Structure 1
Amino acid sequence: MKPELLYLCYATALTGVLWVPYVLERVLTRGVISAVGYEEQPKPQSKWAQRLMKAHGNAVENLVVFATLILLANAMGVSNAIVATASMLYFWARLVHAVTYTLGIPWIRTLAFLTGFAAQAMVAVQLLLH
């Protein structure tokens, strides 16, 4: 498997499991019945769970762009060291983003987000130069 497809798989899997901790926290905080229902005034979740939910939403939004770029690169036969490196960079940046967002570490979170964006831009440039 090409490195960029492998890292797309990793990024997708990461994004796919980010919901688990905050949903488990919701069940522990509210109970099963309340967690799966639609209470008008549910108990608030902890701050870390609220931040992880936002990080998850951000990961989904960015995965749409990253996956599209990587799949386009694959379809166009654009596979080189820059695309592979950008893919690896994107995955690790998104992992750091999720962890630091959850822990409430703003500067590293922002740097990780910008690194992920730069990785997307690197792939986009390779496509446009092709």
Structure 2
Amino acid sequence: MKQIAMTVDIRLLVYSAFICILMWVPYVLTAIKTFGLVNMVSYPVPSYDGMPEWARRLYRAHMNLVENLAPFAVLVIVAALTGAANEMTALGARMFFWARLGQIVLHTAGVPWGRTLTFAIGWAGNLIIFWQIVGY
């Protein structure tokens, strides 16, 4: 099998995945502090109602990244495999990555309209990659 180059798109996909696999740490540590270690390891009903609002927002930001990482990954990988990766797909990947970082910070901080704006920018980045793959 031909090796795929480590393009900007692929690198930002890897960075996005790395952020996603680390995002649970702050809110789980906060859950342990809030509810106790024994309660958290005994498979409680998933509810973060008693936790600080920032931790609940970080949890929601994490779930949002989990939902959006899969389509981004598919688009980046298909672009790489089909030879469609170019400066525009790199732009789309940059938009997705930086928007997702911003979304994590703004959503966790509770900045009004911040999560919506950054979500839309990341979504537009995915559309740019899609359009390069299908030839528009």
**Whole-angstrom distance in 2 between the partners of 1:31 and 1:113:** 33
- Deviation, 1:42, is 8.0
> Mean Cα displacement is larger for which, 14-23 or 33-42?
33-42
The partner residue of 1:62 within 68, 74, 77 is 68
- Number of matched residues? 130
**In the alignment, does 2:15 pair up with 1:10?**
yes
Q: Secondary structure at the match of 1:105?
A: coil
Query: Counterpart of 1:4 in structure 2: which amino acid?
Result: D
**Aligned residues with identical type, % of pairs:** 37
Q: Tell me what 2:122 maps to.
A: 116
> TM-score by structure 1 length?
0.93
**In the alignment, does 2:78 pair up with 1:72?**
yes
**Whole-angstrom distance in 2 between the partners of 1:125 and 1:88:** 15
Which protein is richer in helix relative to its size? 1
**Conservation of the 8 A alpha-carbon contact between 2:102 and 2:118:** yes
**In the alignment, does 2:86 pair up with 1:92?**
no
Q: Secondary structure at the match of 1:106?
A: coil
Cα RMSD (Å) of the superposition?
1.7
Cα deviation digits, residues 41-74 of structure 1 (max 9, x gap): 9871111111111111100000010000001001
**In the alignment, does 2:35 pair up with 1:30?**
yes
**Whole-angstrom distance in 2 between the partners of 1:42 and 1:33:** 16
> TM-score by structure 2 length?
0.89
**Whole-angstrom distance in 1 between the partners of 2:81 and 2:124:** 22
Gaps of 5+ in 2: 1-5
Gaps of 5+ in 1: none
